[in-house]
Chains A and B, each alone.
Chain A
Amino acid sequence: MQQRRVLDQVETNRILLNGQLNTPKWWLPTVLGLGVVVLIGFVIIGFMVNRGLGVTGLSRPVYWGLFITTFVFWVGISHAGIMISAILRLTQAEWRRPVTRAAELLTVFSLLTALIFPLIHAGRPWRIAYWILPYDFARGIFPNIRSPLIMDPVAIGTYLTGSTLFLYVALLPDLGNLRDRTRGWQKTLYTVLALGWRGNPRQWKLQTVGGILLSALMLPIFVSVHSIVSWDFAITPAVEGWHSTIFAPYFVIGAVHSGVSAVVTMMALMRWLWKWDDFIRPEHFDALARLLIVVATAWLGFTFLELVFAIYSLDAPEIALRELQIFSWPWNLMFGVFLMTGYIIPVGMWLFKSVRNNIALMFWTSLFVNIGMWLERFMIIVPGLSRRTPFVYTWDSYRPSLVEWSILVWSVAWVTFLMLLFSRFFPLVPLFEQKESQIFVDKIKIGRVNVPAILREQE
């Protein structure tokens, strides 16, 4: 809280609503540019659905490739949002205020994107819907609840619905604010969405209590979702490297590592694009980097446990897989890049305060983490399938095709596109939370220094 500049509420509105009331010049060309990429991506997806999965590099025995890797990647990214928002709300951490909404938003849009990947990976998306939804009372045949095809959509659907509702409830006071600042159709839109919000003590109390209650409910969901995603692999005993008992916590901690890093990347971009230097301050990056050092180290511990399990069990196929991952070309290169970008470079740099307070460096290091974490998922999924094993009668190596790479690029553009589109209509930083923090702020004189403090305790 040391770097806070006190702003009045008019000024806070003017700065934080600049995306909605005074849209920056870069917004339209950027969104149009991303829109073109997104459109091309949809055309490529359409082409793939029309031609079949033959246009991808997927083939026996590597049936799960870039699409499932990217699915796990986006589910992972989605985990930071609610984790940051919920944990920081529950602990009443003051520095959460500028971070929560963008983090929650990242959760919603990355989950939406993640859900697309199993659909298109199935080759015929309309058939996957047939596996999940129909309750066919005429023939007495129902979806098989033992299948991950049911578990995943239920878990992700729960998380997506919960996150969207969480986001909406926390948005209500700001929708009331936007209703008061706009005219014409925009005013009508915000009036409807604000549900008649007025800001009386009852509504504020429900907002606070409800936020804490929803946080407490969302946290177990957040842990369960990536655990269930990990069981997509862990319940498959035939593939070495997948049937590990530590997969659930390993995936969850990996998701937190990649997700919190994505939030750092996004915060740096928000600060740079919307000039929110007064709200997203170096102290926020410093706090997130400290958190990331702990999370990343815990995640590294799980990564090495995987190797230790192979060595201790002396299970020949498991050791062969680890040898393939670490010593054989091109997996060894990927393993090196994954370790360097996922841990060694970023965490090594975050140990220094000068790096943690340097927003440009934080942006690049957090981006590095997600390159590493995408590779981590690729290294978990593909080598286990592509290792030559006895009794397999057909064989082909896996090289992702241009179609798959294009769809990966599309997913990044799609999430960015959705975020920017949202920012045009809704504030990315919760205004009422910022204003609340300014009411509680005071200075306490201790000896000869005035210490900025947040006062919360009541007599």
Chain B
Amino acid sequence: MADRSILGLFQEAEPAADAMDGLAQAGFEAGTFDVLTGTPYPEGAFGEHVPQHRLFRFPAFGAIIGFTTAILLTAGTQIAFPMVTGGKPILSLFAMIIIVYEMTMLSAVIATVIGIIFESRLPNMNPGAYDERITEGWIGVVISVESTRAQEAESVLKTAGALEIKHAS
């Protein structure tokens, strides 16, 4: 169980990528170390593994829920109070399409936002080692390790050219 979080701070992308490679070569498990930046970099810029996600399932799931709820709501309320207007059918399809469409889209949007937050692993109550300069352009390489391997991880970060090392438990 990892109980230490170590952050190496870099000013350039190249040494940060070297640190990521170094940690992988030293046998640290992928997923225990990560790179932190204040702005999106091109995918793979630090040699990190490309994150996989299932975001596209969320809007589809949300849309199905919204569509079903809207059909039940609109059809159900019209059938529950069956008022005939001008001899037309009880179920007013044109009006139903509008409500069903909007509720389907609304549900898809809400599910997408939940998906973005969930797949981003947020909310993150224990963010580990961090430095405020990351949002000023510095690049952080952070690793969660057991105390027994902390020295080794720190050494890899320093060898790659980390300008500063920070710890958090």
Residue of B nearest to A221 (CB): B105
Say which size band chain B's interface belongs to.
35 or more
Judged by a CB distance under 8 angstroms, whether A292 is at the interface is no
Say whether B134 contacts A199, CB under 8 Å.
Answer: yes
Chain B residues near A142 (CB, 8 Å)? 77, 80-81
Asked if B59 and A435 sit within 8 Å, CB to CB, the answer is: no
CB distance from A182 to the nearest CB of B (A): 10
Q: Point out the residues of chain B lying under 8 angstroms from A205, CB to CB.
A: 40, 43, 50-51, 53
A residues near B112, Cβ cutoff 8 Å: 210, 213-214, 217
Contact B36 A198 (CB under 8 A): yes
Known: A145-B77, A151-B99. Contact between A210 and B55, CB under 8 A? yes
Identify which of A10, A141, A154, A172 contacts B136 (C-beta below 8 A).
A10
Task: Say yes or no for A181: interface residue by CB 8 A criterion.
Answer: yes
Q: Which of B88-126 contact A (CB under 8 A)?
A: 92, 95-96, 98-99, 101-103, 105-106, 108-110, 112-113, 115-117, 119-126
Q: Which of A157-179 contact B (CB under 8 A)?
A: 157-158, 161-162, 165-166, 168-169, 172-173, 176-177
Contact B137 A217 (CB under 8 A): no
B21 proximity list for chain A (CB < 8 A) = none
Chain B residue with Cβ nearest A205: B51
Find the B residue at minimum CB distance from A197: B122
A residues within 8 A CB of B116?
169, 206-207, 210, 214
Q: In B33-75, which residues have CB < 8 Å from any A CB? A: 34-43, 46, 48, 50-51, 53, 55-56, 59, 74
Name the one of B38, B51, B115, B125 contacting A201, with C-beta atoms under 8 angstroms: B51
Chain B CB within 10 Å — which of A10, A140, A435 has the most? A435
Q: Does B127 contact A (CB under 8 A)?
A: yes
Is B151 located at the chain interface by the 8 A CB criterion? no
Known A-B contacts A217-B105, A439-B39; A161 and B110 likewise in contact (beta carbons under 8 Å): yes
A401 within 8 A of B: no
Chain A, range 181-200, C-beta contacts under 8 Å to B: 181, 195-200
Q: Nearest chain-B residue to A137 (Cβ)? A: B80
Is A127 interfacial (CB-CB < 8 Å)? no
Question: Is there an interface contact between A202 and B134, defined as CB atoms closer than 8 Å?
Answer: no
B113–A169 touching, CB < 8 Å: yes
**Is B109 within 8 A of A180, CB to CB?**
no
CA distance A196 to B130 in the complex (A): 11
Cβ-based interface call for A13 (8 A): yes
For residue B32, CB closer than 8 A to chain A, the reply is no
Given contacts A146-B95, A154-B102, A217-B105, contact A435 B38 (CB under 8 A): yes
* B75 CB to nearest chain A CB (Å): 10
Write out the residue numbers on chain A whose beta carbons fall within 8 Å of the beta carbon of B125.
196
Q: Does B135 contact A (CB under 8 A)?
A: yes
In the complex, which of the residues A205, A207, A221 has the most CB atoms of chain B within 10 Å of its own CB atom? A205
Contacts of A195 in B (CB 8 A): 117, 122-124
Q: With A145-B95, A165-B109 given, is the CB distance from A210 to B115 under 8 Å?
A: yes
Cβ of A228 < 8 Å from any Cβ of B? yes
Q: Closest CB of chain A to B41's CB: distance in Å?
A: 7
Residues of A within 8 A of B155 (CB): none
Query: Which residues from B are CB-within-8-Å of A168?
Result: 113
Which one of B40, B96, B123 lies within 8 Å of A436 (CB-CB)?
B40
Question: Are the CB atoms of B106 and A162 closer together than 8 Å?
Answer: yes
A328 within 8 A of B: no
Q: Which residues of B contact A221 (CB under 8 A)?
A: 102, 105-106, 109
Residues of A within 8 A of B41 (CB): 201, 204, 439
Residue of A nearest to B94 (CB): A146
Give 1 or 0 for each of A363-394: 1 = CB within 8 Å of chain B CB. Answer: 00000000000000000000000000000000
B130 to chain A, nearest CB (A): 6
Tell me whether A165 and B113 are in contact (CB under 8 A): yes
**A154 in contact with B119 (CB, 8 Å):** no
| Given contact pairs A158-B103, A162-B106, A177 touches B46 in the complex (Cβ within 8 A) | no
Report whether B37 and A204 are in contact in the complex, using a CB–CB cutoff of 8 Å.
Answer: yes
Assuming the contacts A199-B38, A200-B36, A217-B59, asked whether A9 and B137 have C-beta atoms less than 8 A apart, the reply is yes
Per-residue contact bits, chain A 131-157, to B (CB 8 Å; 1 contact, 0 not) = 000010000111101100011001101
Within the complex, what minimum Cβ distance (angstroms) separates B120 from chain A?
A: 4
The answer to whether B136 and A199 touch across the interface, beta carbons within 8 angstroms, is no
Residues of the A chain whose Cβ atoms lie less than 8 Å from the Cβ of B122: 172, 195-197, 203
A202 and B40 contacting across the interface, CB-CB below 8 Å? no
Residue of A nearest to B125 (CB): A196
List A contacts of B36 (CB < 8 A). Answer: 198-200
Q: Is the CB of B46 within 8 A of A201?
A: yes
Specify which chain B residues have a CB less than 8 angstroms from the CB of A220 in the assembled complex.
105
Closest Cβ of chain B: how far from A309's Cβ, in Å? 22
A residues within 8 Å of B by Cβ?
8-10, 13, 135, 140-143, 145-146, 150-151, 154-155, 157-158, 161-162, 165-166, 168-169, 172-173, 176-177, 180-181, 195-210, 213-214, 217-218, 220-221, 224, 228, 432, 435-436, 439-440, 458
Please list 14 pairs of residues, one from A and one from B, whose beta carbons are closer than 8 Å in the complex, sorted by A's number.
A13-B136, A146-B85, A154-B99, A158-B103, A173-B39, A180-B132, A198-B36, A201-B34, A201-B51, A203-B122, A210-B113, A217-B59, A224-B101, A224-B105
Top 9 nearest A-B pairs (CB, nearest first) are A196-B124, A9-B137, A142-B77, A210-B116, A180-B132, A435-B39, A204-B40, A195-B123, A202-B51
Given A169-B113, A201-B34, A210-B115, 16 more pairs with CB closer than 8 A: A9-B135, A9-B136, A135-B77, A143-B77, A145-B78, A155-B98, A173-B38, A180-B132, A181-B135, A200-B35, A200-B36, A207-B40, A210-B113, A220-B105, A224-B98, A439-B41
